[in-house]
Structures are given as structure tokens and as C-alpha cells.
Amino acid sequence: MSFENYDWSDVVPIEQDDGPDPLAQIAYDPEYSKAMGYFRALAQKNEHSERALTLTEKIIEHNPAHYTIWHYRQQILFSLNKDLYEELDFIRNQVEQNPKNYQLWHHRQVIVEKLKDCSLESSFTEEVLNDDSKNYHAWTYRQWVIRTFNLWDNELSFVEKLLEKDIRNNSAWNQRYFAIFYNPTKPSEEFLEQEVQYGITKIKLAPNNISPWNYVKGVIAKSKLKIDVLEELCKTLYQQGIISPHALGCLVDIYEDRAKCGSINEKELGIQTCILLAEQHDTIRQKYWNYRKHVLTSIA
């Protein structure tokens, strides 16, 4: 039964009182105003009923970000002992329409916590990520599911699929890091070296793609390796005439480290690389590379 079919004759709606000169008034749909009028009346009695449940649905239809209504809905669902798997279906439909709504994702988390059943969650987030592989809400939720229910095993292969589709998907690269370093089973040194090689392979496919550069540097920082392992890659790319500001920037870091250890030659190379970046290959960050040059020049 829908909201309109219930008997509301016993309910005296309470109007919103905005005072004489309100700020940021909204041209509410009359249906929303009516439903909110009933909500205010029911909320005073804290009524948990079937009609109250349909009322929350009506309000959510207009305003899916109404966190108070979601809170009210949760209380009704639990006190009426409703089938929470039906609620998961309801959420699925809602997420299709509002994939970036904080309240919806949180509501799903509350329901799944109550159900203590995560069997539908991996496929659910996968579906949403198929539509938008960078949906921050979906990734946040997916990480919560993995941590809460210890679902680490298949995450790398899931990430692999997404990276095959779009190697520039930074969210997927981040998830790769999450799957390895937030996993309670710590990776071996050998595994990390393989990861660096994996990243290098992906860099070679698209040297201007910042995501694997950041990822590889992140893995190196967690391993016994040093950033110098990227020197050969950076130089080879440049010698092949492939200009990547990320490769040149990485060389600046390497040269600066060595200049600080006393290498005059590498200090000069660092300065020259900064000039290349500032004047030719990364001009939008010209002021930054000039600053890095200034830092290099100041090394005694």
C-alpha cells in the first residue's frame, strides 16, 4: 500500500514555521510539504507503523538526503521487524537513482550490520562501480565491507579487472594499495618488488599517467627499495624521446637526494631538469619548478 492509500484523518499535520524573513527558502513541492507535515505530527508521538514507513518512502522520493527521515525509517524497520532483505532491494533501487548520496550508503551499512550478512555486498558495489568506477561512496563502502567481513582474498583480482578497463582509474590504483597494505596479512619483500615491476610495466604503457607513478612511489616507500630504482626507467623514457613530466619530476627528486649527499654533478643535473620542466614540459607548474630549482641551487 502506498502513502496515499493510508488513512491520515486522525493526524493533524504540523506546518513548518519559518518566521517572518527566512534565509534560503525552498520552493517545496506541495506533496513534500504535505508529507513533512505528517512526519512532524507522527514524530512527536514517535509512531512506528506501516503508514509511517510509507511516509518515509514518500519523503525520501523528494529528498533522499534527509538524514532524520532515514534515522526514523531505521527505527520503524527494526521495531516492526521488517524483512531487511527487502530493504536492501529498496536501497539498490534508490542507489541507481542517487549513486552519490551519503545517507543511502550509510543506511545500507546500518542494514547490513544488523543482518550480519555481506553475501550481496561485493556484487552490489561492483554493479555501482561498473556504472561509475570512481564513485567515492561506493569505494568507501566497499572498503568498509572488506574490513568488517574480512573479504580480502579476491580484491586484487577485482582491481585488476578495473585497471584493465581503465589504467587511469586512480580509485582502482588506490584500492590496489588498500588491498595489499591494509590487509592483515602483510606482503613479503619479494611481493613488493613484483608490485614495483607491475607498476613500471603500467607506466610504460602510458608514461603520462600519474596514477601508477604515485602508486609505485608509495610501494617503494613501504619496501626496502629506494626511489633510485626508477632512475633507469625515467632516463630511458627521456632518451626514447618520450616526455613525461612525472618521469622528469622523479629525476629531480633523485638528483636532489644525491645533491644533498654532496654530488655536485647531480645538483647541476637537477637544476637542468627543473629548467626543462619549468620552461617546456610542465609550464603550468612553472613557479613550483623554479622553487625546486631555488632549493637545489641553495644546497651548499
Partner 1 sequence: MSSCNEKNSFSSANTQTEDVKVFDRDKTIGYFKRCLEFLPKPYESSDTHRMTLAFYSLSGLDLLGVLETEFTQERINNWIDWIYAQQILPDENNPELNERICGFRGSPFSGLPYNPNGCRASRLPFDASNLAMTYTALTSLLILGDDLSRVDKSAIINAMKYLQKDDGSFTQTYQGMESDMRFVYCACAISYMLNDFSGINIDKVVQYIKESQSYDYGIGQGPGLESHGGSTFCAIASLYLLNKLDEGLLSKDKTIFWLISRQESGFQGRANKPPDTCYSFWIGASLMVCFSYLLIIVYIIPFLCLFIVNYSYYKLKILDSFEFIDYDQNYNFLMTTRSFGGFSKWPGSYPDVMHTYMGVAGLSLMEESKKLDPALNISLKARKNLLKCVFKSE
HSE at residue 48, side-chain half, CA atoms within 13 A, is 12
Asked if 273 and 248 count as a contact pair (C-beta separation under 8 A), the reply is: yes
Quote the least distance from Cβ 245 to partner 1, whole Å.
9
**Is 170 or 263 the residue whose CB approaches partner 1 more closely?**
170
Quote the least distance from Cβ 121 to partner 1, whole Å.
16
Quote the least distance from Cβ 156 to partner 1, whole Å.
15
**Is 116 or 287 the residue whose CB approaches partner 1 more closely?**
287
* Distance (Å, whole) CA 170 – CA 176: 10
Return residues touching partner 1 (CB under 8 A): 14, 16-29, 32, 36, 40-41, 43-44, 46, 62-68, 70-72, 102-103, 105-106, 109, 134, 136, 139-140, 143, 147, 168-171, 174, 177-178, 182, 209-211, 214-215, 217-219, 221-222, 283-288, 290-291, 294
For residue 156, give the nearest of 185, 127, 119, 113 by alpha carbon.
Answer: 185
**Is 54 or 170 the residue whose CB approaches partner 1 more closely?**
170
Q: What is the CA radius of gyration of the chain?
A: 27
* Distance (Å, whole) CA 58 – CA 53: 9
**Is 5 or 116 the residue whose CB approaches partner 1 more closely?**
116
**100 among known catalytic residues:** yes
Among residues 45, 58, 82, 100, the one annotated as catalytic is 100
Quote the least distance from Cβ 251 to partner 1, whole Å.
14
* Distance (Å, whole) CA 55 – CA 66: 13
Cβ neighbors of 108 (< 8 A, separation 6 or more) are 88, 91, 95, 141
For the annotated catalytic residues, the residue numbers are: 100
